Structure 1
Amino acid sequence: MACKADFLGEERTRRATLKPISTCCNIPEIGEEEPLAECSIPKLPGPCNDVQCVFEKSGFLNDKYSLNKEAYKKHLLKWLDSHEEWKDAIDKAIKDCVDRDLRQYLDYPCKAYDVFTCTGIAMLKGVIPDNSGEALCGRPPVDKPFECCKLPVLFSDEDRAECGLPGREEPRKGPPDCAKNICIMKKKNLMKDDENLDLDAVSAFLDKYTEENTEFKETVENAKDICLKENLPGPPGICGPSKVISCLFFEVFHNCPTWEKSEKCDKLLKHINQCRAKFV
């Protein structure tokens, strides 16, 4: 699979939750607030009891050992009404976790945990194909894409390496990693907190960049107008900072003032435009 998920991550240490936690994909909370709150005071120890409490309070279980399939399916479809971008993921979750008999994930029976874990895995697979990452716009179809756009370095390879990111000419494996992107933005003091970009700081950072690289000033200004927004559109499953970084990259490449014309670069530009369309 393209990215790993920690379904019992840090979020679950604080309160009951039905939010699958992933290093790359920001899947929204799928539980309802009332049962989550009821099961958080006090929060029962995991991995089974806390999830089972939420399932019981939500009416998702017939008994400890069997899922109320209609109730759980109805809940997922209701959740989908306000999260339409997750349709493929929810369809897969229903197919894999409601319509089929499930494997037992723990050493002891816990139907709620089995269904929750299956749902998280299915949702990740529904948004990120196992072998390509195309749902999030995969790696460029050519080697050394910066030969097509002579874009001056924005983040040094040293900074990238310290955050676990590949060098800019190295192929990326899998979808954007939110934690690594946030790391490099923090290095430049571009984050308000652990989750949200400081858009004003990003704008000022890019202004300084174009002072030193004047041929990109107009291109970067256009990219800022499009990408430096709260609630930026984009593929489901990636966090806000990763959306902004991706959007800026695609916009600058799309309007690159130093573009090299060649068969290779034409192929890359087609790919860039397909990716760019996901963010505008």
Structure 2
Amino acid sequence: MVVLKRDPQHSLTEYPADGCENFQCVVRKNGLLKDDKLDEDGVNKFLDEIEQENPKDKSVTDKVRSECLDEKYEAYPPEDACPVLKFYICTYINIYLECNSWKKDETCSKMAQQANQCRLALEN
């Protein structure tokens, strides 16, 4: 499993993750954690930056906002996972299902298919 993280040039890079501590570390470094809880205001600012840099993919940030904020990520399995991991799972699934420009690339298309299979498995 990987975690998406912004680098100084504002691109997304992957980092390995073994548990909640790693997810919390990445989220904290991106300014999305406040008092050890997901800072939804920080997430919205982060998504605003992504929208400004990639206006054609606004549907992606809209999807994350509608499906993963206001604590909606809490509904995502696994049930015993920490909130930050649930937020990551929610975001991962919804980003790869929504991002049309990424699906044009063969690798990203495969990742979108994998995210869809993951979503279907989680619904059962």
TM-score range, shorter chain: 0.7 to 0.9
Tell me what 1:188 maps to: 30
CA separation of 1:222 and 1:261: change in aligned 2, threshold 3 A: same
> Post-superposition shift, 1:201?
1.5
What is the SS of the residue equivalent to 1:234?
coil
Normalised by the length of structure 2, the TM-score is: 0.73
Name 1:242's counterpart in structure 2. Answer: 85
Counterpart residue number, 2:104 = 260
Residue 155 of structure 1: how far off its partner (Å): 1.8
Once the two structures are TM-superposed, the CA of residue 271 in structure 1 deviates from its matched residue by 1.7
**Structure 1 counterpart of 2:58:** 217
Task: Note if contact 1:154-1:209 (Cα within 8 Å) is conserved in structure 2.
Answer: no
**In the aligned structure 2, how far is the partner of 1:220 from the partner of 1:241?**
18
Matches of 2:28 and 2:108 in 1, distance apart? 32
Task: Percent identity, please.
Answer: 27
Question: What are the within-5 Å matches in structure 2 for residues 1-280 of structure 1?
Answer: 139=1, 154-156=5-7, 168=14, 172=16, 177-194=19-36, 196-230=37-71, 231-258=74-101, 259-260=103-104, 262=106, 267-277=110-120, 278=122
| Structure (1 or 2) with the greater helix fraction | 2
Provide Cα deviations, 1:17-59, integer angstroms capped at 9, x if missing partner: xxxxxxxxxxxxxxxxxxxxxxxxxxxxxxxxxxxxxxxxxxx
| Counterparts of 2:69 and 2:18, CA distance in 1 | 18
**Gap change, CA 1:176 and 1:253, over 3 Å in 2:** farther
CA distance, structure 2, for counterparts of residue 186 and residue 180 of structure 1: 10
CA RMSD of aligned residues (A): 2.8
Residues 223 and 180 from structure 1, CA distance in 2 versus in 1: closer, same or farther, beyond 3 angstroms? same
Tell me how far apart the structure 2 counterparts of residues 176 and 206 of structure 1 sit (CA, whole Å). Answer: 25
Show CA shifts across 1:127-151 (max 9, x none).
Answer: xxxxxxxxxxxx59xxxxxxxxxxx
Give the superposition deviation at 1:274. Answer: 2.0
In structure 1, stretches of 5+ residues that fail to align are: 1-138, 141-152, 158-166
Structure 1 residues 255 and 176 mapped into 2: Cα distance closer, same or farther (>3 Å)? Answer: farther
Deviation at 1:267, TM superposition (A): 4.4
- Between Structure 1 and Structure 2, which shows a larger proportion of strand residues? 2
Contact 1:232/1:244 (CA < 8 Å) preserved in 2?
Answer: no
TM-score of the pair, normalised by structure 1: 0.36
Q: What 5-or-longer segments of structure 2 have no aligned partner? A: none
- The 1:211/1:267 distance shift into structure 2, 3 A limit, reads closer
* 2:59–2:99 contact (8 Å) kept in structure 1: no
Shift of 1:265: 5.5
